[in-house]
Amino acid sequence: MRRNRYSIFSLARNAVSYHQDWSEAWRSPDPAASYDVIVAGGGGHGLATAYYLAAEHDVGRIAVLEKGWIGGGNTGRNTTIVRSNYLWDEAAHLYEKSLQLWEGLSQELNFNVMFSQRGVMNLGHTLQDMRDIYRRSNANRLNGIDSEILTPAEIKAKVPAMNVSSEARYPVLGASFQPRGGVARHDAVAWGFARAADARGVDIIQNCEVTGIRRENGAVCGVETTRGLIGARKVAVVVAGHASVLADMAELRFPVESHPLQALVSEPLKPVLDTVIMSNAVHGYVSQSDKGELVIGAGIDAYTGYGQRGSFSIIEGNVAAIVELFPVFSRVRMLRQWGGIVDVCPDACPIISKTPVKGLYFNCGWGTGGFKATPGSGWVFAHTVAQDEPHALNAAFDLERFTTGALIDEHGAAGVAH
């Protein structure tokens, strides 16, 4: 079932036939009557879960069911910032595991996910911002995570286009900088995991919405879908913004709320910004894609929403802040703007957990910042599903923490939303 490997030789061979003979990257099979594990949700996290289940565990037949097309949710809508500079140990270890997987991902998947470690800079605009930055940066170093503190002069040297003058509306007092952070190509992450999972026998079934979760004697036994009933010994739900909708199908109540989160990109420009700039205080995030577009992320709307669009006022405030920081961007034209549905937990940390229903697992609550976690999330979730026990890295991220009170308060602690 191994697909043709991508290499310089396959590229040359296919050039001779004018690139007409590339084989499909993954199959589109009809659903079987039943599987050992069904992964509901074909975003990056679901596909990564299926890949690591197939590559590192022995669980039998696996399918990914996606209601639309793979990567069409938040995976294909995010601003692709990857970093691991979280404050609390539990979060830092989980995101750092993910960052380490990113570092070898293109090789592992034989697919170029264009992971670019151009560094991530988190700006501080107030004294309190700077205190938080020092605290987080020190915590990161204690956890072996790379982190530097930059002065305004050092920031200016790295990012000449930024206005760091003391007259600026949002004076820049300093920043933390994680050199190993960066960006990746979001679609390629979905496609790379899909192709590698398919090569290991995973059935990827698109246009197949899960509409019900079948249970028998307190254990899961299958899912109802728009393509019929499919049996399953285990069901792993990874549907991001729709987590509550699927929890509802199993009569579970979750501490998750879904919000619109927006982003926008500009027309392509010549290279002007070779790192990632984040500012929580003014709520702007900007990097430049390899195509030259400025990729700008905004904040969430306070209200809940499943509409994959947010309020215009959010974009307005976001762009105003970016233009204050980068006056040279003021006449850049924006090309596209869109929204996703992010699933937010009260402590801004994910739930990667067993549930009261045997054989039913949930991975959700990544909120505004789960893209960076894609490989790590899939890796620990695959372990959780295969072993019916969490891995040490995700044990603290269970549903139980909302009852015991052992929350992992990364809201604001990480200083940044993405």
Residues 276, 337: Cα–Cα separation, whole Å: 19
Among 39, 51, 63, 74, binds ligand FAD (CB under 6 A): 74
Residue 311 found at the interface with another protein (CB under 8 A): yes
Structure tokens at 37: 């594990």
Among 76, 179, 255, 292, binds another protein (CB under 8 A): 255
Residue 375 found at the interface with ligand FAD (CB under 6 A): no
Nearest 10 degrees: CA dihedral of 71, 73, 76, 77?
Answer: 180
Neighbours of 39 (CB within 10 A): 35
Q: Which helix (DSSP H) or strand (DSSP E) does residue 400 occupy?
A: none
The span of 100-108, 140-148, 367-375, 383-391 binding ligand FAD (CB under 6 A) equals 367-375
Residue 305 found at the interface with another protein (CB under 8 A): yes
User: Cα 217 to the chain's mean position, in Å?
Assistant: 35
Q: Which does 107 bind (CB under 5 to 8 A by kind): another protein, ligand FAD, none?
A: none
Count residues binding ligand FAD (CB under 6 A).
40
Taking every pair of Cα atoms in the chain, the longest distance, rounded to a whole number of angstroms, is 67
- Which string of x and - marks every residue 16-55 that binds ligand FAD (by CB under 6 A)? ------------------------xxxxxxx---------
Q: Which does 238 bind (CB under 5 to 8 A by kind): ligand FAD, another protein, none?
A: ligand FAD
Q: Which residue in 83, 79, 45, 82 sits closest to 338, CA to CA?
A: 79
Cα–Cα distances (Å) from 149 to 25, 224, 392, in that order, read 43, 52, 30
Nearest 10 degrees: CA dihedral of 89, 90, 92, 95?
Answer: 170
Residues 390, 397: Cα–Cα separation, whole Å: 9
Amino acid making up residue 375: P
Q: Considering the complex, what minimum distance in angstroms separates the CB of residue 257 from another protein?
A: 5
Q: Considering the complex, what minimum distance in angstroms separates the CB of residue 160 from ligand FAD?
A: 23
Phi/psi at 230 (5° precision)? -125, 125
- Which string of x and - marks every residue 397-416 that binds another protein (by CB under 8 A)? -----xxx------------
Q: Which helix (DSSP H) or strand (DSSP E) does residue 152 occupy?
A: helix 152-158
Among 55, 245, 269, 395, binds another protein (CB under 8 A): 245
Q: Considering the complex, what minimum distance in angstroms separates the CB of residue 70 from ligand FAD?
A: 7
279 Cβ contact partners less than 8 Å away, ≥ 6 residues apart: 122, 123, 125, 170, 285, 321, 325
As a whole number of Å, the end-to-end CA separation of the chain is 37
Are the CB atoms for 371 and 75 separated by under 8 Å? yes
User: Dihedral sign, CA of 315, 321, 323, 325?
Assistant: negative
Strand, helix or coil at 249? helix
The span of 4-12, 27-35, 368-376, 386-394 binding ligand FAD (CB under 6 A) equals 368-376
Residue 296 found at the interface with ligand FAD (CB under 6 A): no
Residue 254 found at the interface with another protein (CB under 8 A): yes
Residue 258 found at the interface with another protein (CB under 8 A): yes
The span of 10-18, 73-81, 92-100, 237-245 binding another protein (CB under 8 A) equals 237-245
Phi/psi at 351 (5° precision)? -110, 120
Residue 242 found at the interface with another protein (CB under 8 A): yes
Q: Which does 265 bind (CB under 5 to 8 A by kind): ligand FAD, another protein, none?
A: none
Residues 236-295 that bind ligand FAD (CB under 6 A): 238-240, 242, 246, 261-263
Residues 330-369 that bind another protein (CB under 8 A): 346
Q: Which helix (DSSP H) or strand (DSSP E) does residue 183 occupy?
A: strand 182-183
Structure tokens at 181: 């952070």
Beta bridge partners of 205: 65
Q: Considering the complex, what minimum distance in angstroms separates the CB of residue 402 from another protein?
A: 5
Residues 113, 103: Cα–Cα separation, whole Å: 10
Q: Which does 41 bind (CB under 5 to 8 A by kind): ligand FAD, another protein, none?
A: ligand FAD
Q: Considering the complex, what minimum distance in angstroms separates the CB of residue 265 from another protein?
A: 24
Residue 372 found at the interface with ligand FAD (CB under 6 A): yes
Q: Which does 291 bind (CB under 5 to 8 A by kind): another protein, ligand FAD, none?
A: none
Contact residues for ligand FAD, defined by CB under 6 A? 40-46, 65-68, 72-75, 77-81, 209-210, 238-240, 242, 246, 261-263, 297, 340, 342, 366, 368-372, 418
Contact residues for another protein, defined by CB under 8 A? 242, 244-245, 253-258, 301-307, 311, 313, 346, 402-404
